[in-house]
Amino acid sequence: MRDAYTKLSAGHVSIDLVEMNEVIVIPEPGAVDEYTRGKISRVAYWYRRLLDARRRVVAAAEKIPSGEFDPDSEHPRIVAAVKEIESWTAQREKVLVFGVFLRPLKLLRDVLNVRHALRAADAGRPIAHALHTDRKLLAIAARQVLRLREEGALSGCLQNERRAEVRRALQDSHKEYERLRPLVREWVRKPIMAWRADPLLLGGTPVDAELDAARHDHLAAFVLDDFLTGLTKAKQPKRARMEELAREYLDQSIRPLIGEHEEDEAKNRC
């Protein structure tokens, strides 16, 4: 009781907290002092409110034809957090999320990832995660696709499709990602070789196969991630856009590091 009261009074209500089955009995008047009885009454009241709210969420979740659906992904705090986070990411802002309980944070992550994947599949964009193979995430997707339609956030192939078609669209988008990934590795090789041949940059330096491979992996991952997040705005052919992103990365991220190294070398010589 003391633990429950402390969490409730501090606002630290875990989703797991409402799964308790014990009934909180309010003592009869005179059984304990009025201060203690008042605390127990307040805890009992808020536990009833929490349990009633959970029952409403579960009742709504039962309309989704999936035994894998976790009703806690529809918890009001999860829904509110998703709305707030997406309002900032839509403005190209980064969002840091802090929480007390790991399970709600994992559910929040899953809901955000599912919504991102659904928007990408709706627009025919590649998605990195094989969401279509995860039954729990697919169950969340079945609910979130309805929410996204209500929000007017879908205007492509998922606007009116049924659940089987939603899964197929997610699968097709992931296949496109798998097809694109080796192509990106090949496309970014040209800018790397051009950098090595440039006498003003890496020209003349000894070839380090291990370093080149690491740089290639890092560059491919960066370019692919950047391309996927901004794909709807890309008007160039894919290969040209990839090579442009690779040059931007080398100029903006690698060149400054080389400059810092040269400055350190000069200081050491002095």
Number of other residues whose CB lies within 10 A of the CB of residue 241: 18
> What pLDDT is stored for residue 233 in this prediction?
54
- How confident is residue 184, by pLDDT bands cut at 50, 70 and 90? confident
- How confident is residue 62, by pLDDT bands cut at 50, 70 and 90? low
- Which range (58-62, 121-125, 174-178, 250-254) has the least confidence? 58-62
CA angle at 86 for the pair 12 and 55, rounded to the nearest 5°: 45
CA angle at 54 for the pair 143 and 25, rounded to the nearest 5°: 170
Highest mean pLDDT among 71-75, 162-166, 170-174: 170-174
pTM score over 0.85: no
DSSP structure string for 200-222: TTTTTSPP-HHHHHHHHHHHHHH
Mean local confidence (pLDDT), 74-94 = 90
